[in-house]
Amino acid sequence: MKISIVTAVYNRERTIGQAIDSVARQTHPDLEHLIIDGASTDGTLAAVSRHGHARMRVHSGPDNGIYDALNKGMALAAGEVLGLVHSDDFLAHDRVLAQVARAFADPAVDAVYGDLDYVAAHDPGRIVRHWKSGGYHRGKLSWGWMPPHPALFLRRRVIERHGVYDTSYRIAADYEAILRWFGHGAIRPCYIPEVLVKMRVGGESNRSLSRVLRKSREDYRALRANGIGGAGALIAKNLTKLPQFLRR
């Protein structure tokens, strides 16, 4: 089973190497790693070259933001299973994709997801927040539930049937897509109850108050557009994050 990992990157010279290395170390034999660079102006491409491996392909050129880049990567991917490793993130250990492939051995499974650790930007060994996903049923979407986007792997047929990221959302296209895939796709997911991905704090959605507010507006729009809920679901979504700072 070929697994395609897509990494969208722009000016991440400092962190892209760890992201690439975490994929290169995977024990699963049949994988490809697509690096979609948005015409970086720092040393990102040099770092990509230094950390290159035989299962990696690089495409560089201007894009219309991260979700446009991810859509490009998925269009180029050859795998039956699609996953992401963001340029600030890395897979938690070298058997992650082997476990994902094992879960997808059941042909009825459409999606596989796990848990995620947020780690300090300059000390990725220090856990700041632990996101335990838990099992899924559709009603949980109305209470703000979602799997961690970086720890979600999809069978290609989900994308073919239900679409890619809606780039009219600049910050919350991942949330909108998850609501669409899980809410309307009637997909069958499998939960792996362990940390699959480590994610550095300081992402695009929480860099400033204005971006936090924009993220909330886009989340609300995504909920309404998919008929999942409204303000109550949005409030619940934010409240469920609080225990993540206490778990270890």
Does residue 50 surpass a pLDDT of 70? yes
Q: Name the superfamily (CATH) of residues 3-245.
A: Spore Coat Polysaccharide Biosynthesis Protein SpsA; Chain A (3.90.550.10)
**pLDDT band at residue 235 under the 50/70/90 scheme:** confident
Does residue 152 surpass a pLDDT of 60? yes
Percent of the chain with pLDDT over 70: 94
Decide: 106 and 191 in contact? Cβ < 8 Å. Answer: no
User: How confident is the model over 56-82, as a mean pLDDT?
Assistant: 97
- Looking at every residue in the chain, the average pLDDT score rounds to 93
Q: State the first-to-last Cα distance of the chain, in angstroms, to the nearest integer.
A: 33
What are the distances in angstroms from CA 193 to CA 34, 168, 174, 215, 240? 27, 33, 21, 28, 18
User: How confident is the model over 120-139, as a mean pLDDT?
Assistant: 93
pTM comes to 0.93
**pLDDT band at residue 69 under the 50/70/90 scheme:** very high
* Per-residue pLDDT at 232: 85
Percent of the chain with pLDDT over 90: 83
Does residue 205 surpass a pLDDT of 70? no
Residues 170-197: tens digit of each pLDDT: 999 999 999 999 988 679 999 999 999 9
Q: Beta-carbon neighbour count of residue 95 at 10 Å?
A: 15
Distance CA(187)–CA(183), nearest Å, equals: 8
- The β-bridge relationship of strands 89-91 and 152-155 is unpaired
User: How confident is the model over 236-248, as a mean pLDDT?
Assistant: 72
**pLDDT band at residue 233 under the 50/70/90 scheme:** confident
Number of H helices, E strands in the chain: 8, 9
Write down the domain spans for the chain: 3-245
Residues 94-106: tens digit of each pLDDT: 999 999 999 999 9
Distance CA(133)–CA(230), nearest Å, equals: 21
* Per-residue pLDDT at 186: 76
* Per-residue pLDDT at 173: 97
Decide: 103 and 83 in contact? Cβ < 8 Å. Answer: no
* Per-residue pLDDT at 210: 78
User: How confident is the model over 80-97, as a mean pLDDT?
Assistant: 98
Distance CA(88)–CA(67), nearest Å, equals: 15
